Structure 1
Amino acid sequence: MEKARAEAGWLMPKTSGYAACAKLRRRGDYKEGTMDFFDECEIKQSIQRIDELLGSGIFDRKHIGNVLYRSAFIDLLICLRDLMFKCRKFSEPIRFTDDVVVTDEIKHVSDLVKYVRDAVCHPDSDAHYLEPGNIRASLNVLYGKGTLIQTGDFNSVSEHDDDVCFFIGRQRIYLQRHIVRAFNEAKDKLLPLVEAASQKAIAESIAGIIR
C-alpha cells in the first residue's frame, strides 16, 4: 500500500523531494480547504516536535538556565500555533478561556498562543511592554504560585502551585493549563482527520492502479 501511495504522489519519494505532490497540486487535484499531503506532514511534524520538546524535560525548573531554554519555548509556540491554525482550518477552533487574560485582542487560548508566538519571535514587538515605551518584560518564568512583577496597577501573577507560568509583557501562558491542554485538544481534533485523509489517499491510489 505504501508503494502504491508513493507511486500516486502521496508520499514524497526520497530522491525527488516534494516534486510528486507539487505535480498533483499544479494539476488541481487538491481542493481549497481540504487536507492535502503537505497539511498531513505539517500536522504530524508539529505534533512530533511538541511531544519531543515536552518529553525532553527542558521546561523542568532545573533547566531554566539552559542556553536552549528560550529556543525550546519559541519552537514549542511555533508548532502549537501551527496546530491551532490547522484546527480552525480543518475542524473547529480551540477556544477555551480558563486562566486566559482576556483583552480586546485575546479572546481565547488560540488567540493567546498566536499573541505569545508573535511576541517571542519578534523582539521589537510592543507586546513586550508592561508600560508602553517604559518597562519591558520579554520572557520571565515562574514555577508555582507567586507574583513576578508589581508596577502601578498591574501585577504579573501565577495563580497555580502545580504549573509553570511564562510571562510576556502583560500576558501570561501556562505550560499545563494552556499549552499542554491546547495541544491535547488539537491532537484529538486533527489526528482522526489525518488518518482519514491517509486512508482515503491509499484507497484512491489502489483504485487508480487497478484501473
Structure 2
Amino acid sequence: MPEMTWMSKQDAVTSIDMCAYQLQELGKLLDAQSHSINTAPLITFILIHLNDVLQKASKLGRRITFKDDVGRHKDVTELIRVARNACCHISSPEHLIDGNKFTFNLIAGICPDAIVIDGRSFGCEYNDDAAIYYGATRVYLKRHIVRAINEVTMVFDPDGQFARRGAPPR
C-alpha cells in the first residue's frame, strides 16, 4: 500500500474538516427551507473537497465503495467524482439529459416524480434527505455526502486526533 506524506494527510484532514463545516452551513439553509444563492456554492465546495479526499483514500487502497442509490456508477467514490466534475465544468456533458441541460436541481423530501422528462422521473426517494442532480447523476446529501465524509474520516482520522469544527450529521 502506498505511503501518505505528512502534507497529503494534512490536506485530507483539512478537507474533511472543511466539508463538515460547510455541511453545517448548508444544513441551516435546508432547515430553513431556504434555497439561497449560497446553496450551490456550498455544495460545489463540499464536492470538490470530498472528491479530493475520496481519491486520496482510493490511492491508499482504502476506497469508499458503498453502492446504495448510486445509479449507473460503480460506487460512491465514482458518483462524487462525476458530480464534482459536472459542477466544476459548465460545459461538461454530465449536465445533459437527452441533449438538454439539467443542472443543480435540488429536491428536498420525498417526491420521486418531482420532475418528469420524456417519461423519466427525477426526484427524491426519501423524506429525510435531499437529492441534487447534475444531468442524470443524483447525489443524496445524507445518504451519499454525509455518509462518505463519515467513512473517509475513519481512513484519515480514525482516533479523532484532529479537531474538527463540527462533525457532519450521522
TM category (shorter chain) comes to 0.7 to 0.9
Give the 3 Å change call, closer, same or farther, for CA 193–43 of structure 1 in structure 2. Answer: farther
Displacement, 1:122?
0.5
Equivalent in 131, 142, 145 of residue 179 of structure 1: 145
Structure whose alpha-carbon radius of gyration is higher:
1
Displacement, 1:148?
2.6
Distance 1:194 1:91 in 2: 21
Taking every aligned residue pair, what percent have the same amino acid on both sides?
A: 28
Displacement, 1:144?
0.6
- State the structure with bigger RCO (CA 8 A, min sep 6), 1 or 2: 2
Displacement, 1:59?
4.5
Displacement, 1:153?
3.6
CA contact (8 A) 1:58 1:72 kept: no
SS at match of 1:139: strand
Equivalent in 26, 29, 40 of residue 9 of structure 2: 40
**Mind listing any 5+ residue stretches in structure 2 that lack a counterpart?**
162-170
Partner of 1:78: 48
**Mind listing any 5+ residue stretches in structure 1 that lack a counterpart?**
1-31, 196-211
Query: TM-score w.r.t. structure 1 length?
Result: 0.70
Equivalent in 78, 85, 93 of residue 126 of structure 1: 93
Equivalent in 104, 109, 112 of residue 144 of structure 1: 109
Q: Specify the code of the residue in structure 1 equivalent to 2:7.
A: F
Displacement, 1:66?
1.9
Distance 1:148 1:119 in 2: 21
Q: Which is helix-richer, 1 or 2?
A: 1
Give the 3 Å change call, closer, same or farther, for CA 129–64 of structure 1 in structure 2. Answer: farther
- Does residue 52 in structure 1 map to residue 17 in structure 2? no
Q: Deviations over 1:95-143 (max 9, x none)?
A: 11111112xxx211110000000000011111111112xx211101111
Equivalent in 25, 29, 32 of residue 62 of structure 1: 32
Distance 1:186 1:130 in 2: 31
- Does residue 159 in structure 1 map to residue 125 in structure 2? yes
Displacement, 1:79?
0.8
